[in-house]
Structure 1
Amino acid sequence: MRLRELPFPDPGDPDVRSGLRFLVWLGRRQLGGQIASLLWGLVWMLPIGFMPIPLGMAVQAVIDRDSGRLMWAGVLLLGLGVLLALGDSMIHRAAVTNWISSAVRIQQLLARKAAELGSVLTRRVAAGEVVAVSTGDVEKIAWFVEAFSRCTAAFVTAFAVVGAIVLYSPELGLLVALALPVVALAPLPLLPRATKRADEQREKAGKATELASDTVAGLRVLRGIGGEELFLERYRSASQEVRRAAVRSARMWALISAAQVVLPGLLLIGVVWHGASLARAGTISVGELVTVYGGVSFLLFPLRHFSEIAMAYSFSKPSAARAARVLALSRSSEGVAGAAGSAGAAGSAVDGSASGDLTDPGSGLLAPAGMLTAVVCGDPDEAGRMADRLGGHPPEPDGRPSAELGGVALDGLTLAQARRLVLVQDKDPVLLSGTLAELLDVPSSGAVGAKEALEAAQCGDVLAALAQASVDDSGDPMRTRITERGRSLSGGQRQRLALARSLVADPQVLVLDEPTSAVDSHTEARIATGLREVRQGRTTVVFSSSPLLLDRADRVVFVAGGEVAAVGRHRELLRGHPHYRAVVTREAEDANAAAEPVEREESA
């Protein structure tokens, strides 16, 4: 794998049954990189491990005044040095490639899942958790994938060096062979506790991140009610909890690091003490003592790799489990496999030319094909859940089925197929940075132009403001750059530009959630007229309680308690349905009654 090939054309279909299976899947996907890292690791570590042999030969040659052996020792040292330099450079290249490739693959998988789930993702997983998984957890998982082959090379090299020491000097080699496993495994009992403390730190950091995100998103409202100091104090308290958890975690890792230094040091002291006694007794030569000492000194190097892989696994396994939980989420409660049985029925929808009524079995909503249907919900949160279902996403936690278009379940289609049929504009649409022309350059049928969509969305004042803010002399608003999330525009201007973008897309079915909540009544009336004209003959569903929009709808559906309670024209429902009237006119005496479940009524 070469970095120039990133990002991957297809990151693959991960095994998300558990964190361990996800790690194994990642390793198998990068098998070539793992083998390259292992081989270059051996080229790097074996010369280091066997460097004491020519050093011992040289020392003994000097003692024996054997110039020939000294020359051969120098040649061997030179050859090992060349291999060491080559292996050192190549193992670094292979390790970095493995790390970056793993991180990019996971990021692509998470991005694909976020695009698939849309707004439903943050309803199933906390926003702070998503941020933590896509940042810190990705690094930990990639660390383990990168370290695995390198640590395997260290294990093979250590085994070879210990075997060589045993053959070279059995008296010292047996001591090393018996003591080395004890020294390597001694810190392992401390790892679970250290990992637990690290997870506590990560959890608190995720909560602090989520609190900070919510505070920044609602900063304007907080300033309006004077709540900045309250939320600042909450974040200060959360950050202090993160600091205390980090200190507790650092103390445990410091203890493990100390054990990794003290225990190998004691082994080295013991070997030198015993070897010096053997040398004084004439059992071994000085050259043998130097060789064994050098070999044991080298073993301290792979011991650090053993500790590293243990730490990497302890960190990466829970991180992989969290990533697997996010990647295991699906648009359909039954998953892709469960939807495969409806492939035949979905055949007409695959090419994006499906037509028919849009229905929501969970609530009983019916939006006839080619008509403008307005939906009024007694519970504002229910409108968002219904909009998600109409877009092909089953909500959590009630698990109601997604919507059907012409009898085809939308969550049984692939995301691309569903998006060609149904477009859902959220209550708080996002405008990406770029020019207005780039904003409106979206996949579309070509039937609705940018000018027509902007006129229908009543964006005249927005165009004038953009033209005035143009950085060149053309004064062309289409070339004016819009800042990130449209922060330079008012809420109403952002809503109208988002509506224009949805109208340009001209989907078979358009679902709008409160598209005019931030505009004045005069503009809202003109938008309602423009929306009806542009979407003539297309299926449109608008979630709103605005009388101006409701009065221009072909059909109004009132939903209470999660189910359709009444269907008719706006004026008919105002006269004949008190719960509907309470929601639309905001009558205080009937507001509580409007939120209660009511019996379904016959369609008007």
Structure 2
Amino acid sequence: MPVRPGTGNLARPPPAAEPWDVMQIRDLPYPDPGDPDARSGTRFLLWLGRRQLGGQLRALGWGMLHFASVVALSYGVGRAVQAVADGSGPGLASAGGLLALAAAGIALGDTMLHRTAVTNWITAAARTQQLLARRTAALGSALTRRVAAGEVVAVSTGDVEKIGWFVEAVSRFLAAALTVVLVCAALLVHQPELGLLVSVGVPVLALGVLPLLPRATRLADIQREKAGRATELAADTVAGLRVLRGIGGEELFLGRYRRASQEVRRAAVRSARMWSLISALQVLLPGVLSICVVWYGVALVGEGRIGVGQLVTVYSAVMLLGYPLRQFEEIAMAYSFSRPSAARAARVLRLERSPAPRAVAAVPGGGPGAPGSGAPAGDLYDPSTGLLAPAGVLTAVVCGDPDAAGRLAERLGGHPPDAADLPSVLLGGVPLEGLPVEAARAAVLVQDKDPVLLSGTLTELLDVPASGRVDPATALDAAQCADVLDALAQAAPDGDPAAGPITERGRSLSGGQRQRLALARSLVADPEVLVLDEPTSAVDAHTEARIARGVSALRAGRTTVVLTSSPLLLDAAERVVLVRDGRVAAVGGHRELMAREPGYRAVVSRRPEEDGPPPVPGGVPGGPERSPSDIEETA
């Protein structure tokens, strides 16, 4: 039930729709899309149908009115012909009234059937999209590790439409099937001899194409599989287009996509040929039945066993039955196309955010980075590595392996590796994975090394759930975004950088500019715990030094974890942790570790451990050996 005008945000959300409720488009989105049966694609389709029983029954009723009115024309025409043959004026008038009534039924039934069918289609697609969006939000970054990006795009767009198509086609098919049964029964009563011929021939018409459907389905599956691969290739190519241009790989990927698209074309042609054969049979078989009815009916008229009006009635009924019979072909096509789509959607909906976290009986004391038994509330602790990020402290973590750093960042945010049997990260002694998703996201924010910027304006980019403690101007200043603001001001219609357009994924900006805008967005959010994975990898040394000071000052008193090997960020950290082979190996300050830990020194200075301490430019142990001209921001 929609919220009444004038109630505003104080009105309670409408209750979740029951299976028999009739959902209207204006009621979307669903307050609760439900818990789907995702064990298989077929079960998911059945679940969607059950959730829309009210809408399905309405479509069934209007469909029966429409199809019955269409077939009723044949009875009216037959009565009119018989009235003319008998010279009966009243009979002709009654036949005209019947035809007018049938025409009104056709108009009303067709209009309302279309409305209810489209409503069923859109509401089923909307429910599926909401379910997929909810599962995507729950999985987070784990989704793209389990499902290819192109498949996610295909499920969220084309597959949703095909699923909605089948759900709405079911009611029209049932209406057509019931109409055909009723017409055959009426013909048996009205004219048994011809009715028997029609009753035998109609099932042949409906089922005659069944032997071709398995092959048509296989060809359609092959086409969709190839189209999915082409979509995935296109998505990956577009995402890395700037990199491809930098290395001159455009022609290579263009050739790959051209070959993939040609495979899709060939598969589509083979599938279309089979479906065109099915459509041809749907025209040929009714024509053969009509010829048989006319031939046999003329013989019966000649023998005086039936009147000419009865023959016209049966012939017209056979011709008009072709219309509802086409619904049999459509439901076959809809199921053929929607079944693999539903299977892909069900596969995504079956994915779980993470395995159930193992209980941690006690936080071990002693050892590098491990908290003691009296650790203050708010500490972030990873039992699998022994990493401790004390509350209110800027902690830098050096891993040496970028992939290991990325996995650690995801685990700190509550996204453990899929197959790993690892204990849950603890926040203030509470397992992070045991918290509701909303609470975990509000407590810990992870910015990965390749952050995504959605299209829009700078104001929209920074309009994120936030504590309100950090305003956008302060965050942009701390992230050193002055040059980004200048670029956005030039692109803005009125010169206001806040209204400057940001293209999808920030592709109009350089890698360093994207990185700094994402950092500013994270600073505006101001979470209790902020995890940054290589936040300055595409930034020059001078800018990086200013960012290190800005983040350190802005996040003072807040828990911050920075995974990096940059000496500038490490020197600004209050606490530095070295993680090697999946365990904490050393804890201390940057200068202290540079002096006493060869492994740490090797990672930070990028020199072999046996080479000894590196030169100390500027008096900072392990200081930067690069200059702005040494770094070309990643395109």
Shared fold (TM-score greater than 0.5)?
Answer: yes
Q: Deviations over 1:504-561 (max 9, x none)?
A: 1110110111110111111111211221121112111111111111222222233334
Q: Deviations over 1:236-256 (max 9, x none)?
A: 111111111112211221222
Q: Secondary structure at the match of 2:452?
A: coil
Runs of 4+ aligned residues of structure 1 deviating over 4 Å after TM superposition are 467-470, 588-591
- Counterpart residue identity of residue 257, structure 1: S
Q: 1:535 aligns with which of 555, 576, 582?
A: 555
- Contact 1:50–1:161, Cα closer than 8 Å, also in 2: no
- 1:435 corresponding residue in structure 2: 457
Q: Deviations over 1:294-318 (max 9, x none)?
A: 1222222222111211221222222
- Contact 2:598–2:609, Cα closer than 8 Å, also in 1: no
- 1:141 corresponding residue in structure 2: 163
Q: Deviations over 1:257-308 (max 9, x none)?
A: 2222222222222222222222222222211111111122222222211121
Q: 1:291 aligns with which of 313, 317, 322?
A: 313
Distance 1:588 1:283 in 2: 106
- 1:211 corresponding residue in structure 2: 233
Higher mean C-alpha deviation, range 286-295 or range 259-268 = 259-268
Q: Label 1:570 to 1:296 Cα distance change in 2 as closer, same or farther (>3 A).
A: same
The equivalences for 1:442-461 within 5 A come to 442-461=464-483
Task: Determine whether 1:235 maps to 2:257.
Answer: yes
- Counterpart residue identity of residue 143, structure 1: W
Residue 581 of structure 1, CA deviation? 3.1
- 2:322 corresponding residue in structure 1: 300
The equivalences for 1:411-430 within 5 A come to 411-430=433-452
Distance 1:293 1:476 in 2: 74
- 2:174 corresponding residue in structure 1: 152
Residue 470 of structure 1, CA deviation? 4.6
- 1:546 corresponding residue in structure 2: 566
| Structure 1 unaligned blocks of 5 or more | 343-353, 592-604
- Contact 1:389–1:401, Cα closer than 8 Å, also in 2: no
Task: Determine whether 1:37 maps to 2:68.
Answer: no
- 2:530 corresponding residue in structure 1: 510
- 1:59 corresponding residue in structure 2: 81
Q: Label 1:481 to 1:240 Cα distance change in 2 as closer, same or farther (>3 A).
A: closer
Distance 1:131 1:483 in 2: 19
The equivalences for 1:160-179 within 5 A come to 160-179=182-201
Task: Determine whether 1:313 maps to 2:319.
Answer: no
Q: Label 1:292 to 1:469 Cα distance change in 2 as closer, same or farther (>3 A).
A: closer
- 1:350 corresponding residue in structure 2: none
Q: Secondary structure at the match of 1:398?
A: coil
Size of the aligned set, in residue pairs, is 574
Task: Determine whether 1:111 maps to 2:106.
Answer: no
Normalised by the size of structure 1, how large is the TM-score?
0.90
- 2:304 corresponding residue in structure 1: 282
- 2:142 corresponding residue in structure 1: 120
The equivalences for 1:472-491 within 5 A come to 472=494, 476-491=496-511
- 1:407 corresponding residue in structure 2: 429
Q: Label 1:62 to 1:477 Cα distance change in 2 as closer, same or farther (>3 A).
A: closer
Higher mean C-alpha deviation, range 2-11 or range 80-89 = 2-11
- Counterpart residue identity of residue 203, structure 2: P
- Counterpart residue identity of residue 436, structure 1: L
Distance 1:89 1:234 in 2: 47
Q: 1:368 aligns with which of 390, 393, 396?
A: 390
- Contact 2:141–2:415, Cα closer than 8 Å, also in 1: no
- 1:494 corresponding residue in structure 2: 514
Q: Label 1:579 to 1:207 Cα distance change in 2 as closer, same or farther (>3 A).
A: farther
Q: Secondary structure at the match of 1:105?
A: helix
Task: Determine whether 1:569 maps to 2:589.
Answer: yes
Q: Label 1:102 to 1:416 Cα distance change in 2 as closer, same or farther (>3 A).
A: same
Distance 2:487 2:285 in 1: 71
Task: Determine whether 1:391 maps to 2:410.
Answer: no
Residue 389 of structure 1, CA deviation? 1.8
Higher mean C-alpha deviation, range 411-420 or range 9-18 = 9-18
Q: Label 1:215 to 1:297 Cα distance change in 2 as closer, same or farther (>3 A).
A: same
Task: Determine whether 1:220 maps to 2:261.
Answer: no
- 1:556 corresponding residue in structure 2: 576
Q: Label 1:440 to 1:194 Cα distance change in 2 as closer, same or farther (>3 A).
A: same
Q: Deviations over 1:150-172 (max 9, x none)?
A: 11111111111000011111112
- Counterpart residue identity of residue 170, structure 2: F
Q: Label 1:302 to 1:538 Cα distance change in 2 as closer, same or farther (>3 A).
A: same
CA RMSD of superposed structures (Å): 2.3
- Counterpart residue identity of residue 102, structure 1: A
- Counterpart residue identity of residue 593, structure 2: L
| Structure 2 unaligned blocks of 5 or more | 1-22, 361-375, 612-635
- 2:346 corresponding residue in structure 1: 324
Normalised by the size of structure 2, how large is the TM-score?
0.85
- Contact 1:172–1:292, Cα closer than 8 Å, also in 2: yes
- Contact 2:194–2:297, Cα closer than 8 Å, also in 1: yes
- 2:631 corresponding residue in structure 1: none
Q: Secondary structure at the match of 2:464?
A: coil
Task: Determine whether 1:79 maps to 2:101.
Answer: yes
Q: Secondary structure at the match of 1:489?
A: coil
Distance 2:264 2:65 in 1: 42
- Counterpart residue identity of residue 558, structure 1: L
Distance 1:304 1:101 in 2: 24
- Contact 1:331–1:392, Cα closer than 8 Å, also in 2: no
- Contact 1:394–1:401, Cα closer than 8 Å, also in 2: no
- Contact 1:470–1:476, Cα closer than 8 Å, also in 2: yes
- 2:153 corresponding residue in structure 1: 131
Q: Secondary structure at the match of 1:297?
A: helix
- 1:333 corresponding residue in structure 2: 355
- Contact 2:379–2:428, Cα closer than 8 Å, also in 1: yes
Distance 1:183 1:563 in 2: 70
- 1:600 corresponding residue in structure 2: none
- Contact 2:220–2:336, Cα closer than 8 Å, also in 1: no
Residue 355 of structure 1, CA deviation? 4.3
Q: Label 1:45 to 1:470 Cα distance change in 2 as closer, same or farther (>3 A).
A: closer
Q: Secondary structure at the match of 2:578?
A: strand
Q: Secondary structure at the match of 1:333?
A: coil
Q: 2:269 aligns with which of 225, 247, 252?
A: 247
Residue 189 of structure 1, CA deviation? 2.4
- 1:101 corresponding residue in structure 2: 123
- 1:597 corresponding residue in structure 2: none
Residue 72 of structure 1, CA deviation? 1.0
Distance 1:280 1:562 in 2: 95
Q: What percent of counterpart residues are identical?
A: 68
Q: Secondary structure at the match of 2:82?
A: helix
